[in-house]
Amino acid sequence: MNLLDSCITIRQELAKLNEIWEVNDRFTNYLQAEWKLISKTRNGAKVTKKYDLAKSPFQQANIYKSTSAKSKLIMKKTMDKLHPGALSRHIKDLAGKLQKMSLSKAPAARKPVVNTSWNRSPGVLFQMRQRAYLQ
């Protein structure tokens, strides 16, 4: 595999990653619930945290009064088009394709075998030579 082929492969992998991130962004921002921290109290070394009920960012944006009606309408239309199961399957499918692309590349070159006798201490080498000489 030459340098040009590896650049093309890297670009293809990056395009697949961008596609995964785009789909995952919709999944995370519209469907995945998050806990919002309400309060945190300290009693000595112990910290107690209280959380609101888990809501998706889409649900939280609809609750806020500062969100404009136009934004809420756009988000609602987007939410109505989403299918959670299909999104999840699509993300898994794209991740599988990315994994196949990654595994289809040639493996990295193996490191050469290290000459361990060269790395031994001089005392050990002397003993090895002495044994060989005496035999």
119-128 mean pLDDT: 66
Q: What is the 3-state secondary structure (H, E, C) of the chain?
A: CCHHHHHHHHHHHHHHHHHHHHHHHHHHHHCCCECCEEEEEEECCEEEEEECCCECHHHHHHHCCCCCHHHHHHHHHHHHHCCHHHHHHHHHHHHHHHHHHHHHCCCCCCCCCCCHHHHCCHHHHHHHHHHHHHC
Residue 13 belongs to domain spanning: 3-105
93, part of any domain: yes
pLDDT exceeds 70 at position 19: yes
pLDDT exceeds 80 at position 89: yes
**How many domains is the chain partitioned into structurally?**
1
Average pLDDT, the chain: 84
Tell me: the pLDDT tens digits for 22-71?
999 999 988 888 899 999 999 999 999 999 999 998 998 888 889 899 99
pLDDT exceeds 70 at position 96: yes
133, part of any domain: no
Say what the pLDDT of residue 92 is: 95
Residue bearing tokens 């031994």: 120
**Residue with more model confidence, 99 or 118:** 99
21, part of any domain: yes
pLDDT exceeds 70 at position 10: yes
**Residue with more model confidence, 16 or 115:** 16
54, part of any domain: yes
124, part of any domain: no
Say what the pLDDT of residue 104 is: 80
122, part of any domain: no
pLDDT exceeds 60 at position 1: no
127, part of any domain: no
121, part of any domain: no
